[in-house]
Amino acid sequence: MSFEPIRCYTSADIKALQQTRTDEVVFLDLVSLESVRVARESYAVLRELLVPRNWLCGDLDLLSLVAGVSLELHKINHDLLPRFLVQEVKLDGDVLEALLVLKNSAIALLDLAKEIKEEIDDVDEDLISCKVERLGMSLLDTANLVLISDANIDSLQERVRALVGPIDALLAAPFVFHSE
């Protein structure tokens, strides 16, 4: 018995699966997503579809890793970086706590990059893990600049401003699971 997989090229394709009503075995083949940003929502939708049904998706673990990257970047962009850019910021308890969280997020991104690299079969198709790794190192360097050296708030703010663009670019980057 042979089953033709349902191919998904975008988050809209994944959302459209919610309308599929079948008790048959369904194989899902994730080909790509339009951006890393949509991976969190796409994972949540797909997970809800797979669990109660007889559906299979070999790319679910990889999607969960990319969703983890999306989640960390969202947290950094919306919860952490703005705390460092306020006018009268001081290197006190709140900022130091945020730097520790930033360091933990950087380490999480480095771990996710490594896992993504291991999960992708074809290194030529891996356009994301190197970017995640590079950004993770930049974030770790930025946090350590203050946490374990004598850097001041001005140098921290300069580094943080330089990180906003790469974070936005990574969130906007398309993700290819595999070519057809």
- Dist. CA 172–CA 129, nearest whole Å: 14
User: Residue 121: enclosing H or E segment and its boundaries?
Assistant: none
pLDDT digits (tens, 9 = 90+) for 18-36: 998 887 888 999 999 999 9
How many structural domains is the chain composed of? Answer: 2
10 and 87 part of one domain: no
79 and 137 part of one domain: yes
* 122 has pLDDT over 80: no
Domain boundary among 60, 77, 106: 60
118 and 36 part of one domain: no
pLDDT digits (tens, 9 = 90+) for 59-77: 999 999 999 999 999 999 9
Which pLDDT score is estimated for 125? Answer: 58
Distance of CA 56 to the CA centre of its chain: 23
- Token representation of residue 48: 């809800």
Q: What is the pTM of this model?
A: 0.90
Which pLDDT score is estimated for 25? Answer: 86
Specify whether the CB–CB gap between 3 and 142 falls below 8 A. no
147 and 93 part of one domain: yes
Is 159 inside any structural domain?
Answer: yes
Which pLDDT score is estimated for 1? Answer: 44
* 83 has pLDDT over 50: yes
48 and 118 part of one domain: no
74 and 141 part of one domain: yes
Q: Is 56 helix (H, G, I), strand (E, B) or coil?
A: strand
Domain encompassing residue 42: 6-60
Is 178 inside any structural domain?
Answer: no
Q: What percent of the chain has pLDDT over 70?
A: 94
49 and 89 part of one domain: no
Strands of the chain (E only): list them. 6-8, 26-30, 32-33, 55-57, 175-176
Is 179 inside any structural domain?
Answer: no
pLDDT band, very low/low/confident/very high, at 124 (cuts 50, 70, 90) = low
- Dist. CA 139–CA 145, nearest whole Å: 10
What is the average pLDDT value for the chain, to the nearest integer?
A: 90
